[in-house]
Amino acid sequence: MIRLLIADDHTILREGLKRILDGVEDIQVVAEAVDGHDTLNKVRSEKFDLLLLDLSMPGRSGVDLIHQIRSEFPKLPILILTMHEEEQYAVRAIRAGANGYLTKESAGTQLVTALRKVASGRPYISMEVAEQLAMSAMPSSTQVSHSHLSDREFEVFCHLAKGKTITEIGELLHLSVKTVSTHKTRIMQKMDWHSISDLVQYAMAHQFL
């Protein structure tokens, strides 16, 4: 029996996932978490065979949360369930320690298969993500790429590209305005951008918008 913890801040989605798993004899939803801190508390207080984790939740979330869980519970398999379809999000999640990556759009048809595969110790990723992981392992070219950004810088970059202000980004990521400003400066320097317009054009060209 696979003892599953579902971590997602949307009640409707959690209920939908439980309906998909209702009647699946070898998977049991034994707990739910609504944000990053709740997830950590649940994982620390109870034993699970698998964590189904949303990549974007209030509080501590995303790659940072994966790193934390992996450092404390290295043997707990983690399957990411997210609305982000871009392979770059998946690559960063896998690098941080996630064992699989599934988009919410695909959950209806692939969830049970993905859960069983990750629980058995095997990875669950798409061909596109596997290709991105292989490419990232190759010697880097001299061309400037968003792969050179740190995980936090990449998060800030994505929010900036979507038109979020520094204050809004700080609230979303629970960072100070000064810290977000520092990340923004480093992003612009690393990517050799001179304006937000350059940033937005790059985001559009790489289908982040």
pLDDT tier at 85, thresholds 50, 70, 90: low
Residues 16-40 have pLDDT tens digits of: 999 999 989 999 999 999 999 999 9
CATH code of the domain containing 181: 1.10.10.10
Residue 172 in any domain: the answer is yes
Domain count, the chain: 2
> Which percentage of the chain shows pLDDT scores above 90?
60
Domain that holds residue 70: 2-135
DSSP letter, residue 140: P
Specify if 61 maps to a domain.
yes
- Nearest-angstrom CA–CA distance, 18 and 13: 9
- 3-state class (DSSP) for residue 129: helix
Q: Name the E strands within the chain.
A: 2-7, 27-33, 50-54, 78-82, 100-103
Instruction: Determine the Cα–Cα distance for residues 108 and 189; give it in Å rounded to an integer.
Output: 42
Are both 11 and 37 inside the same structural domain?
A: yes
Residue with tokens 């984790």: 53
Domain identity same for 100 and 151: no
**Residues 6 or more apart in contact with residue 163 via CB below 8 angstroms:** none
| In a domain? residue 104 | yes
In this model, does residue 107 exceed pLDDT 90?
no
132-180 pLDDT, tens digit per residue, is: 667 666 555 445 688 889 889 999 999 999 999 999 999 988 899 999 9
Non-local (6+) Cβ contacts of 117 within 8 A are 100, 123, 124
113 shares its domain with 89: yes
